[in-house]
Structure 1
Amino acid sequence: MHANVRLVSASIADGADEQLLDEWHALLARHATVCGALEAELRRRHDIGVSEFEALERLATGPQGKCRGVELTEAVHLSQSAASRLVARMERDGLVERTTCPDDRRAIFIALTDAGRQRYREAKPTQRAVLAATMG
């Protein structure tokens, strides 16, 4: 989801500019802290990263355990090429499979496998615990 931003030509007052930058840097620092902790624990305990977990969660909580490739790309906040590499790794690891849409053979669905569903169930408590510890 991208925010709509309207650029304004008027300059921001120095104090407001400094506050805006402070908030931005705090957001970046919090993001780095949470993502770093998630990445470390998910790798250590479940041999997956944050992006893999997000993809598994999107598929596990979506209708019928599958979605179009473009929807998965948007859900994991990656570029199309990075998401394609992610899906290829997850497919190689047996967590997902690609299928064609019966109504539109050009469309590709990414479907959760039984192994992917199991990995998600095992990793979900870890992800939630790290979120609670780092964001709570």
Structure 2
Amino acid sequence: MLIRKFNKNESGLNRFFGPLEAKIMDILWNNCEMTIKNVQQVLDREKGTNFNTVMTVMNRLVEKEILQKRTEGRSSLYKPVLSRDQFLHTQSKEMTNELMDEFGTVVVSHMLDALEDVDDDLVAKLEKKIKELKKDK
């Protein structure tokens, strides 16, 4: 599942989802499997959100294959297809691959420039990965 929408002016999950979608995903990632009513009740604690709106958004997330839906008795239970970490890993990898395919060395140059602002552990991991890539060629 690749999210085609990416909002560079947003932060966190709002880069991939609309505001309500992001809240719903956050709730489900923190609670695993829930009904629409359960999700709506959590949202109501923060800000009143209509049940039908929550239902529509959650069913659209099912259509986008971001949520799974299963029926238990008369209730429908929803849960994320991927964990939060798996989702972020998949999306960032896809975005990186697309940027590399389209912009190549410019992207690498910008990523290297950004390393000036990161901790030494990340730089060490990058150096290790580069050595592995060179060894495999």
Structure with the bigger RCO (C-alpha within 8 Å, sep 6+) is 1
| TMscore range, shorter length | 0.3 to 0.5
TM-score, normalised by the number of residues in structure 1? 0.48
